[in-house]
């Protein structure tokens, strides 16, 4: 594009500076063209990003809102605590079915008291708006606080996913006619309840904190276990990959002799960074699960596999930033009698730190979004129990954010599509937090020389 070949015809003696000669005109035109290419490329990239964000946020932001039925009811002692001792161990014998009956009775009473349904409507249509999960929530709440029995409490009950979908525009009266899970009558009751303040759609922390739920209960599904699983895996990667990667790079860059053997290692590290992630999954399955007998679906195994993937990335970027430190700094340190190790740790490493952090965060971000290797080591299992606190919790089954997204998109109910988009938003937020931490750390380390 920049034609250097000198054509002597360009300049003629005595030509005016106020008039561009043809060569200058061509050069300026080429420069303008190049700038236009650049602007077009950036515009395309921005448009793609915008489309991505719009589609994710328009589809996923509703996952953070959920419809609840809110009403008051008295918890009957004779049904929920037949022995009357308020002893949680005894009370646990009352199953979710028992709570379901109580909850349904309370809802029917509240709705009929409000006088918003004609007398002809069957109780089953009123109770049908509740989520099966609502009774389990109530049971957990009572078992955690037995003194609630006999008192009048505010109930916040999850409603059925189709009702929730109706208020989010996913379900219509027409689709309800053909839908075995919902009837137009129930939708009408729900609308009447909203008008009377018995039902509302509002922000739902449960989406971020609750565990996953079964296919029939999209309204109850949350990201709690996946979020913890991803967090634990990131901890494992951070604790293992960063020290290993940085130490290996320092050794290779500052201490190792330059010979055939280190050349081979160097080439292999670059190749390792290009290996498809699923291969690391197979490796992890063979080594960590089949050979070392670590538990399946555990964050420790996921973390180890992701560590294998991340170490080459960290090594490559760390070596690049070590190499970018001016050699004069090493000379200066050695010149006053510092040992090689002192020169590296006192002078070179602090200067390389911003670059190392950038590489580390890129590696961690890749690891955070990785799905394929986790599928192979069983992280796709349906897990409803939260893992314990680390370190024991690292061996408990858990899920991971990207796997949860994949999992939800596989399910039949369209309510899960909304939740998958919501999970992507959480994943992006997780990434943003990590990047923000990296930027803050980098600011602290950044020095001029």
Stretch (H or E) spanning 68: strand 65-74
| Residue 432 Cα distances to 223, 234, 366, 425, angstroms | 17, 14, 13, 10
Q: Shortest distance, CB of residue 22 to another protein, whole angstroms?
A: 44
- Binding mask 308-327 toward another protein (x if CB under 8 A, else -) reads ------------------x-
Q: Cα separation of 248 and 271, whole Å?
A: 16
Nearest approach, Cβ of residue 264 and another protein (Å): 18
Of 258 and 293, nearer to another protein (C-beta) is 258
Binding residue for another protein, selected from 287, 338, 417, 434, defined by CB under 8 A: 338
Which of 171, 285, 333, 377 contacts another protein by CB under 8 A?
Answer: 333
At residue 52, φ and ψ (nearest 5 deg) are -60, -50
> By CB under 8 A, is residue 337 in contact with another protein?
yes
Q: Which residue has the tokens 């931490």?
A: 437
Among residues 13, 178, 258, 260, which is the contact residue for another protein, using CB under 8 A? 258
Check residue 329 for interaction with another protein (CB under 8 A).
yes
Number of amino acids touching another protein (CB under 8 A): 22
- Nearest approach, Cβ of residue 357 and another protein (Å): 17
**Contact region for another protein (CB under 8 A) — 29-37, 262-270, 342-350, 397-405?**
342-350
d(CA 402, CA 302): 12
Nearest of 214, 204, 210 to residue 222 by alpha carbon: 210
List 233, 234, 351, 364, residue binding another protein (CB under 8 A): 351
Q: How far is CA 140 from the centre of its chain?
A: 27
Residue 339 touches another protein, criterion: CB under 8 A: yes
- Asked whether the bond before 340 is cis by omega within 30 degrees of 0, the reply is no
Looking up tokens 């929730």 gives: 164
Work out how close the CB of 247 gets to another protein at its nearest, in angstroms, rounded to a whole number.
Answer: 21
Sole window of 30-38, 215-223, 339-347, 384-392 interacting with another protein (rule: CB under 8 A): 339-347
Please give, one letter per residue, the 3-state secondary structure of 134-157. HHHHHHHHHHHCHHHCCCEEEEEE
Q: Does the footprint of another protein cover residue 328 (CB under 8 A)?
A: yes
Residue 260 is a binding residue for another protein (CB under 8 A): no
Cα distance between the two ends of the chain: 35
Q: Which of 330, 390, 393, 395 binds another protein (CB under 8 A)?
A: 330
- Pairwise CA distance, residues 350 & 250, whole Å: 12
Pairwise CA distance, residues 358 & 321, whole Å: 10
Query: Using CB under 8 A as the criterion, which residues of the chain lie in contact with another protein when the complex forms?
Result: 257-258, 326, 328-339, 342, 346-347, 351, 447-449
């Amino acid at each position: 594009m920049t034609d250097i070949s000198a054509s002597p015809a360009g300049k003629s003696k005595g030509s005016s500076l106020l008039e561009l000669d043809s060569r200058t005109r061509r050069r300026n035109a080429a420069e303008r063209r190049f700038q236009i290419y650049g602007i077009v490329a950036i515009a395309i990239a921005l448009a793609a990003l915008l489309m991505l964000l719009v589609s994710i946020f328009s589809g996923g932001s509703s996952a953070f809102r959920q419809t609840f039925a809110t009403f008051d009811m008295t918890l009957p002692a004779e049904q929920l605590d037949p022995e009357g001792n308020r002893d949680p161990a005894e009370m646990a014998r009352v199953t979710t079915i028992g709570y379901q009956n109580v909850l349904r009775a309370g809802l029917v009473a509240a709705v009929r008291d409000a006088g918003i349904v004609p007398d002809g409507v069957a109780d089953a249509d009123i109770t049908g708006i509740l989520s099966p999960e609502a009774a389990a929530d109530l049971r957990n709440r009572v078992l955690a606080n037995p003194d609630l029995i006999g008192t009048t409490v505010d109930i916040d009950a999850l409603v059925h996913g189709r009702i929730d979908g109706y208020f989010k525009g996913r379900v219509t009266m027409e689709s309800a006619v053909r839908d075995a899970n919902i009837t137009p009558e129930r939708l009408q009751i729900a609308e009447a309840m909203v008008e009377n303040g018995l039902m509302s759609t509002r922000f739902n922390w449960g989406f971020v904190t609750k565990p996953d739920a079964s296919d029939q209960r999209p309204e109850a599904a949350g990201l709690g276990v996946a979020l913890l699983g991803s967090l634990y895996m990131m901890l494992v990667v951070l604790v293992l990959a960063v020290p290993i990667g940085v130490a290996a790079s320092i050794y290779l860059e500052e201490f190792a002799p330059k010979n055939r053997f280190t050349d081979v290692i160097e080439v292999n590290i670059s190749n390792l960074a290009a290996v498809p992630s699923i291969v690391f999954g197979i490796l992890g399955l063979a080594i960590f699960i089949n050979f070392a007998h670590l538990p399946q679906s555990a964050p420790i195994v996921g973390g180890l596999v992701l560590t294998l993937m991340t170490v080459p990335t960290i090594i490559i970027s760390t070596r690049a930033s070590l190499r970018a430190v001016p050699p004069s700094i090493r000379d200066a340190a050695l010149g006053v009698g510092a040992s090689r190790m002192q020169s590296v740790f006192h002078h070179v490493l602090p200067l390389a730190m911003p670059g190392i952090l950038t590489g580390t965060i890129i590696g961690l971000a890749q690891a955070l979004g990785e799905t394929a290797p986790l599928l192979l080591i069983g992280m796709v299992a349906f897990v409803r129990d939260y893992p314990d606190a680390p370190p024991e919790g690292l061996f408990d089954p858990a899920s991971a954010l990207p796997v949860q997204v994949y999992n939800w998109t596989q399910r039949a109910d369209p309510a899960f599509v909304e939740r998958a988009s919501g999970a992507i938003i959480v994943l992006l937020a997780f990434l943003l937090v990590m990047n923000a931490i990296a930027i803050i750390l980098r600011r602290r380390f950044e020095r001029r020389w």
